[in-house]
Structure 1
Amino acid sequence: MIILPRRCWLFVLIFLFSLGGYAQVPTEILFTGSYKQAPLTQVLEEIQAKTPVRFYFKPEWVTNLKVTQSFEREKVTAVVEALLENTDLEAAWYHNYAVMLFPSAAHHPAIVYKDNEGKPLNRLLFGLPKNAQEDKKVVLRGKVTSAKTGEPVVGATVSVPSLAIGDQTDANGEYRLLLPMGEHLVSYKSIELLPEERQVGLYAAGTLNLQLYQSVVALNEVEVRADGMNDRNVNSAQLGMNKLNIGVIRKMPTFMGEVDVVKSVLLLPGVSSVGEGSAGFNVRGGGSDQNLLLMGQIPIYNPSHLFGFFSVFNPDVVKDLTFYRGGIPPKYGGRLSSVLEVQQKEGQNTKLKGNGGVGPITSRLALEGPLFSPKTTFLVAGRASYPNWVLHSLKDKQLSQTHAAFYDGNANVTHIFSPKDKTSFNSYLSHDSFGFTQDSIYSWQNIGASLKHTHSFSEQLVGSLSGVFSKYRFGIQDQDSTNASKFSNGIWSASIKAEGNYDARQHQLGFGAEGSYHTFQPGKLEPASANSGVNPITLTQNQAIEGGIFASDEYTITPQWTVMLGLRYSFYQNRGPGPVYVYAPGQPKQERTITDTLSYGSGEGIAFYHGLEPRVSVKYSITEVNSIKAGYQRMRQYLHLISGAMAVAPIDFWQTSNTHLKPQVADQWSIGYFHNFSGNSIEFSVEPYYKRIQNQLDYKEGAELWLNPTIEADLLPGKGRTYGVEVQLAKKQGDLTGWASYTYSRSEIQVNGTFPEEQVNKGAFYPTNYDKPHTVSIVAAYQLTKRLAFTSNFIYSSGRPTTAPIGLYMVGGVEVPVYGDRNQARIPDYHRLDLSMSIEPNHRKDKKWEGRWSVSVYNVYGRQNAYSVFFRRDVGAPPQGYKLSVVGVPLPSITYDFKF
């Protein structure tokens, strides 16, 4: 028996493998022996003493193995097979009488070769070469994590270049490759991390987990791609999807030093905003409420801090984001325009670590690490603001009396029960307060939590079960002595979702079901003191259940043809208790035309809606570097945001679909051409689209939205249409990286009711409040040195529509303006340049503290962009237009980010 010392192990392995092609198994050698609970090492020593056979293995592989067997002149090959029958070892014969003992691939992920110093080499063996079968394929799977943080690396490329086979790591950092048996060089690459390679002898299914280290030179920092593969934008059937890594987002210029996920989305094609200080964003001409925002799995109903200047997503807990504006998978539903899913980080499992930052307006801190054991990890993060010192220093008297603040917190706990089972708990809390004076305080709050368990049934089938809770509440507190009052509105929801994914080689199958329960509070006003003259008003709460079942299949028909098929069936029921008003037939809906009131009891169904939502996209590859894609999708939206403003505002409220308000339904068609240049380092795409919307809401002239019990009488359903084209050119490699995009987009609505009061602009199509025909975005990053980088953003967009006065008339001696048709005028165009510089730390693997400085200037040339316009008439002159600018000066900031 030969127990290999560390310094000889590598030499013997190389020698034996070099002779592997000439392996012979002795057939005539016989062996006799009888054993009872004898150590396996003793038996092997006796075989070596009585025969010319020699064994090679590591001592830890045979520790505690006992033998109770008898052999009487049996062939030594049969003896070795019998000895290993109930163990985790396999035997391979080399050059007549040399026997290698290996851990079985079914019990050990791989054999790791080491050099003379004991360091792992880049070669691993799964199974034995003697078991190789021509034309048979096996699975290599594993997980890619960051060596620095221990977190899963999402979107990493794992490929075998010689076979042109690859995969992208998922949200858990996991990958799966189906490869023929044999020797393969596997490549691992990811943004900001050093690439790695492993030489793999794959003769059985195996698991290869890998850690990637931080790159000293941070190239490709502003990369925008549809997937982790270099040519995935050409070869995937997915339309209208982008992924952004948090490293990309951190490099972008910031507003007052705060990294912002939502503002990074505004730089993507097809996305716009009505202006600075607006909370939401508009996608392909859709409203702000038509976007589904998910923090993990938690829906966010108001994504803003400080009325839209900051978003609710803390960059310290963000791993990456996936943004769909077309080709939305059927597992998502409930919104018409887009899905923004922000993936949160999980705590790393090696040791306690932290990171944070200090800026002129906000500071933040995050801690993560193992909780009691490496199988349980946690992450907690908090962020707080202190903008009052800036507001109080302003010369404007009204602004100097303004006070504002926000804070938010995230907590995550993840426990791995086994390689097949994992449970994660996520929670979120945020709070804002704002006031122009000390008398009136505006406040709003988001609360959310989710619990998800994931189970791997097999290598092909993975399933998950999730429970989610989310609540949004807005309030106004008026402390005036005579009219002290408290106002509130909000929405809360609870949901459960089961989802599965099955990998059937050419077919990637997904399926699942979900259900939600919603409660809407449209408004409640109550006196805040005994002396208040305010009369209490409470609008009836609305309840609803929403659900859906879905299935999808990504079918690779040939290398040229791929099709993604999806189908979702959704349903919605508005439920009691509550009243439903009956309006007189043949008359417009008004409070005075109510003829009856129907009362429904608790849980009683009021209105029921349902329907199919097909999704399909097809890809045809013209060559290896260019392709054509086409797609269609139908979406249904059962929740409506009632807003008198052009963007999401805290005073807005969510309203259920009911007897009078039907759900919105959108059908979208798109086609695209995709082309890569210079070895996939430059990507070009052009994607036209057309969308048709049913039951899109607008408002009557003079609509009353505040505490209105008959709100449906002031809402007008219409037909919407949006159309346009998105063009993008992205450079992904080199010292200079970035992208430029141009979007032409039109958004129009037609409100043509039965009565004149229910028509807008005489029933003709007119621009929506967020119609912005032209949008240009340019993002560029230049890596000057290993640690010094510069980034710039430039944005241009057409001015949004507004309604302008066209004359005056006299009523009782008072001049009253006459307004023209709705949204036939426009505010001035918007454009802005931002610059930033970042100084990176060196990336030594053993560094205990890292600091990073970022200096940025928002609105470099001080453009006074108009958020809105108003009209005022001076005596003896016609009405004049004036614009309101929220940020009209350059705003410099400096931020210090740190890790430990």
Structure 2
Amino acid sequence: MLCFSLRFWLCAFFLLVSLAGFSQVSDSSFFSGKFDKTPLQQALQEIQTKTPVRFYFEPDWLKDITVSGEFAQENVAQVVAVLLSETELEAAWYHTYAVVIFPSRASHPAVVYKDKQGKALPRLLFGLPKNVSDTKKVELRGRLTNAKTNEPLVGATVSVPALAVGDQTDANGNYRLLLPTGEHLVTFKYVGLLPEERQIGLYAAGTLNLPLHQSVVVLNEVEIRGDRPGDSNVNSVQVGANKLNIGVIRKMPAFLGEVDVVKSVLLLPGVSSVGEGSSGFNVRGGGADQNLVLMGQIPIYNPSHLFGFFSVFNPDVVKDLTFYRGGIPARYGGRLSSVLEVQQREGKGGKLTGTGGIGPITSRLALEGPLLSEKTTFLVAGRAAYPNWLLHALKDKRLKEGHATFYDGNASVKHTFSPKDNLTLNGYFSHDAFGFTQDSIYSWENTGVALKHTHTFSDNLQGSLSGVFSKYRFAITDKSLGNASEFSNGIWSGSLKAAFVYDAKRHQFNFGAEATRFGFKPGQFKPTEAGSAINELILPNDQAIEAAAYLSDEFTITQQWTVMLGMRYSLYQNRGAGEVYVYDPTQHRQQRTITDTLRYGAGSAIATYHGLEPRASLKYSFTEANSVKAGYQRMRQYTHLISGAMAVAPLDFWQSSNTYLKPQLADQWSIGYFHNFGGNKIEFSVETYYKKIQNQLDYKEGAELWLNPAVEAELLPGKGRGYGLEMQLSKREGNLTGWISYTYSRSEIQVNGFFKQEKINNGAFYPTNYDKPHNLALVANYQLTRRLGFASNFTFSSGRPTTMPIGLYEMEGNTVPVYGDRNQARIPAYHRLDLSMTIETNHKKDKKWEGRWNISIYNVYARRNAYSVFFRDDAYAVPQAYRLSVVGVPLPSITYDFKF
């Protein structure tokens, strides 16, 4: 089969030739034979075997056409004319023995689509109009790639605006549309690349693979949007999902000049954090541990550097990110609130290229290119931080004497065995170290490896098999004389995953299975020198396995109705060797009420949990620019992050579900209205949701969590609920782009155990530590010239809850504060403005070096936002509240990014 471009121009050429009368008909070749409802392609092949004449055609044009006729030593030209007389095909002779078969001029559309310059758009014909029912629907499918790198475009949109029908490309760049037969104008769009349009004569199923090109004037990259690219804000069935391209993220003002994927997510509706200096984020009233963060396929258990000021994602290796806060696909599991999947770039072939940047806190470099041959490509990247000079310049004495650093590295190798098979190996490692003194050092590490084999079985079926390993470790090292010691905890997981995608015209099936083994290290405290006064204390490690299988179907019912149904089944088992304490059932759990200990051998089941996790999304399109979507999802989370803090902190540790700690279970319902206007330049969306959580954990008053062998006695299960409203208005084209998002959300929990000590606030619902009702984000980007752009972010959020003292009493000469009900007061509201300016180099095509300067100011008006409020005793008075601010001054920075 000829490729599209060659096929189009060849047919156009021969059509002109035939119109001009330049055909040369053979008058020296004769044929004898008989055809009785014989497929036309078979008839032409028989003529070729008996004569020197050769035919050239597109097989789709001859599909389902049969011919009849009996010939005895007749001229081939006459034979061909008779066979085609009852079809909508014509023959053009461009040589005595060469014939092109093409659609008749009578089958050409009366209306020709034109571009903005008035030129006719390229037209591709699949099948012929003859005998095609007006009500018949056929499938258009294909693959979109980046013309420069040949990488698949993930999240690109393919749409037919006149029918309000569209699709979004998957992880391999594939799309599919089910369309009525006829002529259609199809648009192809992706952030940062030039859009394409094609006129499609669709009378039979067809495949169109298309590369999208970069613009010479790189203004597309400054488009800012908080939702999926193109028209999928309205057309996609997915509810509660966002996609951001790294080009968008690079334009945002950044903390000390370092582009941050996680910080960009905080500007989306439904997402918040407890404050500066906190890692992780909170989604729709959920805890920071309820978010599944993936680097490719690798789960990241602590996504932060330097206690949350930076994320683990190096911007030079990030391709784009997809963020789900509702309507989570069935292929994801293990977390309650959201999925953040960060796609890494794959090394491109051709020649060796590099990117990097130099800033006041970090520097980075990435190299990519072919490895030995064009079939194998690689990408390696490294980043290092040097913030000590900044700490030493601060006024705070403890910070002034402190020291900090981090570094991380990414590596990727991809080998293409054939167009149907490729193998990808990705690796990641990071290390952080921080200390207020030279004697005490906090350190933590993330390590991850993923090996993935992808195979295309057919045009309809693709599959992949992956092996994934991830490990997180935290340690505190004390080098002081006489107390030399190390405390550490951590978690590791190893997974085997099989995933498949099957396109069946109006259905798109995703199905697969996975198995994961977990290892939990809750804590150990060891002396590191012979003369240390520290006594060794090691908590027993925990083991668990989790298995899951899933199936989902995205089904196009009509042009207006689309539904996505999914089901996931998961099974989790906490396994030995291990011990389980038995508590006195007549008293609330605590160490002194332990009455017995049950011991389990290696590999034996200690506790087993399982259940179904249904998912559903429904979309109804009023017009091409208006739709309503609704969704429901059930999620199960079998691992728990035990922490006395409000966000992910280094001292936290992961804990398996076991005999006493039940899995968390969440049900969420959501509905939203989506509208595009101004020629799809402006997007509006409003969503509302309600979420119920079972077995959500909180802590007893004065809970002791550090190195506690009976930590379950300090934890209290409760019922959680969250509800809210999310609105977003975004402009994604023009010199001025950006978005405004507002979220009203509530997050509450009820702990109402059997004993008084197992009740909080007398069993009533109360706000969680991360309940922040009002969140507002304004993101703006103005491109003044081709080379000069300005950006700003403004954020506002309600203060999070805290517990205040309401009185005091004297006890043995000491003043003891009396605290009120938990989380019934709030710290002051948070707001901040950031500004940045970006200066581009020239945009010549043949330049070998590209540079970009970014100048930014974080916290422009020096807002001293409170991270927490603490209390100090004053004689004979209620303890006074004091505000702890992490960043209370403007922080300017200048960064130089380059590419060669």
Question: With structure 2 as the length reference, what TM-score do the two structures score?
Answer: 0.87
CA contact (8 A) 1:517 1:546 kept: yes
CA contact (8 A) 1:836 1:855 kept: yes
1:79–1:127: structure 2 CA closer, same or farther, 3 Å change rule? farther
Helix, strand or coil at the partner of 1:275 = coil
Which segment is superposed worse, 556-565 or 237-246?
A: 556-565
Q: Tell me what 2:108 maps to.
A: none
Helix, strand or coil at the partner of 2:712 = helix
The alpha-carbon deviation at position 330 of structure 1 amounts to 0.8
1:873–1:354: structure 2 CA closer, same or farther, 3 Å change rule? same
The whole-number CA distance in structure 2 between the counterparts of 1:139 and 1:622 is 22
Helix, strand or coil at the partner of 1:152 = coil
Q: For residue 694 of structure 1, what is the amino acid of its counterpart? A: Q
Q: Tell me what 1:285 maps to.
A: 285
Q: Tell me what 1:19 maps to.
A: 18
CA contact (8 A) 1:323 1:338 kept: yes
Q: Tell me what 1:93 maps to.
A: 91
The alpha-carbon deviation at position 151 of structure 1 amounts to 3.4
Q: Tell me what 2:488 maps to.
A: 488
Q: Tell me what 1:555 maps to.
A: 555
The whole-number CA distance in structure 2 between the counterparts of 1:557 and 1:179 is 12
The alpha-carbon deviation at position 874 of structure 1 amounts to 2.5
CA contact (8 A) 2:672 2:688 kept: yes
Q: For residue 658 of structure 1, what is the amino acid of its counterpart? A: N
Q: What does the per-residue CA deviation read over 1:345-372, in whole Å, with 9 as the maximum and x for residues that have no partner?
A: 0111111110000000000000111112
The alpha-carbon deviation at position 92 of structure 1 amounts to 7.9
The whole-number CA distance in structure 2 between the counterparts of 1:25 and 1:238 is 56
1:600–1:391: structure 2 CA closer, same or farther, 3 Å change rule? same
Task: Determine whether 1:702 maps to 2:702.
Answer: yes
The alpha-carbon deviation at position 495 of structure 1 amounts to 0.5
The alpha-carbon deviation at position 418 of structure 1 amounts to 1.4
Q: Tell me what 2:172 maps to.
A: 172
Q: For residue 234 of structure 1, what is the amino acid of its counterpart? A: V
Task: Give matches, 1:382-397, under 5 Å.
Answer: 382-397=382-397
Q: What does the per-residue CA deviation read over 1:683-703, in whole Å, with 9 as the maximum and x for residues that have no partner?
A: 211111111111000011111
Q: What does the per-residue CA deviation read over 1:18-58, in whole Å, with 9 as the maximum and x for residues that have no partner?
A: 6379999979854599xxxxxxxxxxxxx99xx9989999x
Task: Determine whether 1:675 maps to 2:675.
Answer: yes
Task: Determine whether 1:224 maps to 2:222.
Answer: no
The whole-number CA distance in structure 2 between the counterparts of 1:350 and 1:180 is 41
CA contact (8 A) 1:23 1:94 kept: no
CA contact (8 A) 1:56 1:99 kept: no
CA contact (8 A) 1:20 1:94 kept: no
The alpha-carbon deviation at position 141 of structure 1 amounts to 4.8
CA contact (8 A) 1:665 1:694 kept: yes
Task: Determine whether 1:737 maps to 2:737.
Answer: yes
Task: Determine whether 1:316 maps to 2:324.
Answer: no
1:183–1:613: structure 2 CA closer, same or farther, 3 Å change rule? closer
Q: For residue 859 of structure 1, what is the amino acid of its counterpart? A: N
CA contact (8 A) 2:224 2:732 kept: yes
Helix, strand or coil at the partner of 2:706 = coil
The alpha-carbon deviation at position 192 of structure 1 amounts to 1.9
1:270–1:29: structure 2 CA closer, same or farther, 3 Å change rule? same
The alpha-carbon deviation at position 221 of structure 1 amounts to 2.9
Q: How many residues align?
A: 840
The alpha-carbon deviation at position 531 of structure 1 amounts to 0.4
The whole-number CA distance in structure 2 between the counterparts of 1:334 and 1:774 is 28
The alpha-carbon deviation at position 446 of structure 1 amounts to 0.2
The whole-number CA distance in structure 2 between the counterparts of 1:784 and 1:316 is 25
CA contact (8 A) 2:161 2:624 kept: no
Q: Tell me what 1:567 maps to.
A: 567
1:760–1:32: structure 2 CA closer, same or farther, 3 Å change rule? closer
Q: What does the per-residue CA deviation read over 1:525-574, in whole Å, with 9 as the maximum and x for residues that have no partner?
A: 11010000111111010000011111111111112222111111111000
The alpha-carbon deviation at position 624 of structure 1 amounts to 3.1
CA contact (8 A) 1:222 1:251 kept: no
The whole-number CA distance in structure 1 between the counterparts of 2:709 and 2:889 is 43
Q: Tell me what 2:506 maps to.
A: 506
The whole-number CA distance in structure 2 between the counterparts of 1:237 and 1:586 is 52
Q: Tell me what 1:522 maps to.
A: 522
Q: For residue 483 of structure 2, what is the amino acid of its counterpart? A: N
Task: Give matches, 1:69-148, under 5 Å.
Answer: 76=76, 93-94=91-92, 100=98, 141-148=141-148
Task: Determine whether 1:535 maps to 2:556.
Answer: no
Report the identity percentage.
69
The alpha-carbon deviation at position 154 of structure 1 amounts to 2.7
CA contact (8 A) 1:445 1:474 kept: yes
Q: Tell me what 1:693 maps to.
A: 693
Helix, strand or coil at the partner of 2:316 = helix
The whole-number CA distance in structure 2 between the counterparts of 1:558 and 1:580 is 56
CA contact (8 A) 1:20 1:95 kept: no
Q: For residue 620 of structure 1, what is the amino acid of its counterpart? A: Y
The whole-number CA distance in structure 2 between the counterparts of 1:762 and 1:513 is 44
Q: Tell me what 1:66 maps to.
A: none
The whole-number CA distance in structure 1 between the counterparts of 2:842 and 2:145 is 20
Task: Determine whether 1:306 maps to 2:306.
Answer: yes
The alpha-carbon deviation at position 621 of structure 1 amounts to 2.3
1:843–1:535: structure 2 CA closer, same or farther, 3 Å change rule? same
CA contact (8 A) 1:132 1:181 kept: no
Task: Give matches, 1:207-222, under 5 Å.
Answer: 207-219=208-220, 221-222=222-223
Q: Tell me what 1:808 maps to.
A: 808
Q: For residue 247 of structure 1, what is the amino acid of its counterpart? A: G
Q: Tell me what 2:44 maps to.
A: none
Helix, strand or coil at the partner of 2:153 = coil
The alpha-carbon deviation at position 834 of structure 1 amounts to 0.5
Q: For residue 243 of structure 2, what is the amino acid of its counterpart? A: K
Helix, strand or coil at the partner of 1:247 = helix
1:624–1:79: structure 2 CA closer, same or farther, 3 Å change rule? closer
Task: Give matches, 1:313-462, under 5 Å.
Answer: 313-462=313-462
The whole-number CA distance in structure 2 between the counterparts of 1:858 and 1:124 is 51
The whole-number CA distance in structure 1 between the counterparts of 2:644 and 2:91 is 81
Q: Tell me what 2:40 maps to.
A: none
CA contact (8 A) 1:440 1:479 kept: yes
The whole-number CA distance in structure 2 between the counterparts of 1:78 and 1:516 is 69
The whole-number CA distance in structure 2 between the counterparts of 1:237 and 1:157 is 13
Helix, strand or coil at the partner of 2:864 = coil
Q: For residue 214 of structure 2, what is the amino acid of its counterpart? A: Y
Q: For residue 755 of structure 1, what is the amino acid of its counterpart? A: F
Task: Give matches, 1:259-270, under 5 Å.
Answer: 259-270=259-270
CA contact (8 A) 2:316 2:355 kept: yes
CA contact (8 A) 1:220 1:733 kept: no
1:714–1:103: structure 2 CA closer, same or farther, 3 Å change rule? farther
Q: For residue 219 of structure 2, what is the amino acid of its counterpart? A: A
Question: With structure 1 as the length reference, what TM-score do the two structures score?
Answer: 0.87
Q: What does the per-residue CA deviation read over 1:815-846, in whole Å, with 9 as the maximum and x for residues that have no partner?
A: 11111111111111000001111112232221
1:599–1:190: structure 2 CA closer, same or farther, 3 Å change rule? same
1:23–1:170: structure 2 CA closer, same or farther, 3 Å change rule? farther
Q: What does the per-residue CA deviation read over 1:586-642, in whole Å, with 9 as the maximum and x for residues that have no partner?
A: 111111111111111110000000111111122222333222222211111000000
Q: What does the per-residue CA deviation read over 1:736-767, in whole Å, with 9 as the maximum and x for residues that have no partner?
A: 11111111111111111111111111111111
The whole-number CA distance in structure 1 between the counterparts of 2:484 and 2:54 is 94
Task: Give matches, 1:198-277, under 5 Å.
Answer: 205-219=206-220, 221-224=222-225, 226-230=227-231, 232-277=232-277
CA contact (8 A) 2:163 2:624 kept: no
The alpha-carbon deviation at position 184 of structure 1 amounts to 6.8
CA contact (8 A) 1:428 1:448 kept: yes
Structure 1 runs not aligned, ≥5 long:
1-8, 34-46, 58-71, 82-90, 105-120
Q: For residue 343 of structure 1, what is the amino acid of its counterpart? A: Q
CA contact (8 A) 2:55 2:101 kept: no
1:837–1:150: structure 2 CA closer, same or farther, 3 Å change rule? farther
The whole-number CA distance in structure 2 between the counterparts of 1:385 and 1:351 is 29
Helix, strand or coil at the partner of 2:257 = coil
Q: Tell me what 1:37 maps to.
A: none
CA contact (8 A) 1:93 1:99 kept: no
